[in-house]
Every structure is written in C-alpha cells, then in structure tokens.
Amino acid sequence: MCRHAAWLGAPRTLASLIGEPEHGLLTQSYAPRMQRHGRVNADGFGMGWYDQARAAPVRYRRAVPMWADANLAALAEVARSGCLLAAVRSATVGMPIEETATAPFTDGRHLLSLNGRAAPDAVRALAADAESPCDAAWLAAGVFTLLRAGTPLPAALAETVARTAAKDPAARLNLLACDGATVAATTWGDTLYLREDPGGVLLASEPLDDHPAWRPVPDRHLVLATGDGVRAEPL
C-alpha cells in the first residue's frame, strides 16, 4: 500500500533515497516495480532526518504526490544525515488523505513508517490516541507507547505486529523505524530489500536501483541495523 526506504551509515542526502537512484522513491511514487497492492503512491509523501542542532528529527510531509512538490528536489539535495527515512503513500480505502495520516510519524527521537494495512479494530487498542484516524497512525502510536515505557525499538515493533496480527490475520505490517543510531524493520505480508554497502545499510520496500547487492528479507522477519552491522531474525 506504500513504499518506504531508510539509510543508516555515513552522512548522505535524502536525494539518495528519492530522486538520484533510477528507481528511487520518486519513481516508485508513480511506477513501482514490485508493489502487490495498488498501482501508484500518490496520496502523500514524507521524509525525516537527524540534525545535530535538534534533539528531535526534522520531518517534512505533504498530502500531495511526490512529483507535485516543486520544492522537494532542492530540499532533498541539501538535507543530509547519517540516518534517513522517507516514504510515499497509497492510502487504504476509507482512510483520510492528509498530512497527519502521512509517514513518517514521530515521537521523541523516533521516526516510523508503515507499508501495509490493518483493520481499525485491530489497531485502536494499541494506544490511547493517535495523530490521525488512519491505521498507520494508530500502529505508530502503539509502537511509541511501548517505547515510552522502556521497550527497545526492535521489541516494540515485534510486539505491535504480533498484537495486531492476532486481531487481524490478513493485516500487512511492514514497519520501518529509526532513532538516529538504529534502523529496525519488519516484514509481514509485503516485500523488503536490504543492501549493505561499505558506508552503511539501505532498507527499502523494493530496490532503489539494479545493483546486485540488494537481497530480499524473508517474510515475517525483523531486521535490525546498527553501527555494528545488520541482523535478521524470525518474528
């Protein structure tokens, strides 16, 4: 239902996720190659990155197609960080198309995106409230509630996926989250690809280019990337 991507490693620009690669998120907004649900991702986009001048990440979100934002290219060329997250949205039928429903969602140091969908009844028990009535916002609120209670990021993602899937077995729950030093992701019903480079790690719903280093992450797995490397384990 969406496409997302993240980078952890040596500082690089958001353009490296969006416009520079042949199949970056800009291309994926109108011509995804591996998307199983929906044909385009034109219901908004967002991106987040970390800057030493701020304790919280910087976030930029719009409820328009990525290709319709005339300011994006210049912004993406100068926004630089060692931890980046960006997403384009294909809204679940019945969900609002507005900036508050667009990833990345944020709380403290954390950014979070969803590629998937879940029934409202399956997610509203996860948290007391959410930024938007959309399923992704409730999932994010559930993860953030656990994080504020001291649960580590990987465990918070895994618990949120397990609780949601127990109530909605048909849910698709590919979550992607970061805190500036760590990127964690789940595969649950949709694709995720991993690429390890000398300078860092890329995670994306589908490869951003045709480099042979991309490899698929098996379904129902949790991926954790840190400065020490990458590991994947079953959910």
1 pLDDT higher than 80: no
State yes or no: is 2 an active-site residue.
Answer: yes
Choosing from 2, 83, 134, 178, the catalytic residue is: 2
Tell me the torsion sign for CA atoms 164, 166, 167, 170: positive
113 pLDDT higher than 80: yes
| Residue appearing with tokens 């399923």 | 135
**Tell me: the pLDDT tens digits for 151-200?**
999 999 999 999 999 999 999 999 999 999 999 999 999 999 999 999 99
Segments making up each domain of the chain, as ranges? 2-234
Give the angle subtended at the CA of 28 by the CAs of 2 and 222, to the nearest 5°: 50
Asked if 118 contacts 137 with a C-beta cutoff of 8 angstroms, the reply is no
| Residue appearing with tokens 């919280």 | 56
12 pLDDT higher than 90: yes
Instruction: Report percent pLDDT > 90 for the chain.
Output: 95
Phi, psi values for residue 61, rounded to 5°? -135, 145
Phi, psi values for residue 147, rounded to 5°? -65, -40
- CA distance linking residue 162 with residue 152, whole number of Å: 15
- CA distance linking residue 73 with residue 115, whole number of Å: 23
Instruction: Give the confidence band of 45 by pLDDT, cuts at 50, 70, 90.
Output: very high
Helix (H) or strand (E) holding 148, with range, is: helix 135-148
Which two three-digit tokens encode residue 81? Answer: 């960080």
Query: What is the second-level CATH architecture of the domain 2-234?
Result: 4-Layer Sandwich (3.60)
Instruction: Give the confidence band of 210 by pLDDT, cuts at 50, 70, 90.
Output: very high
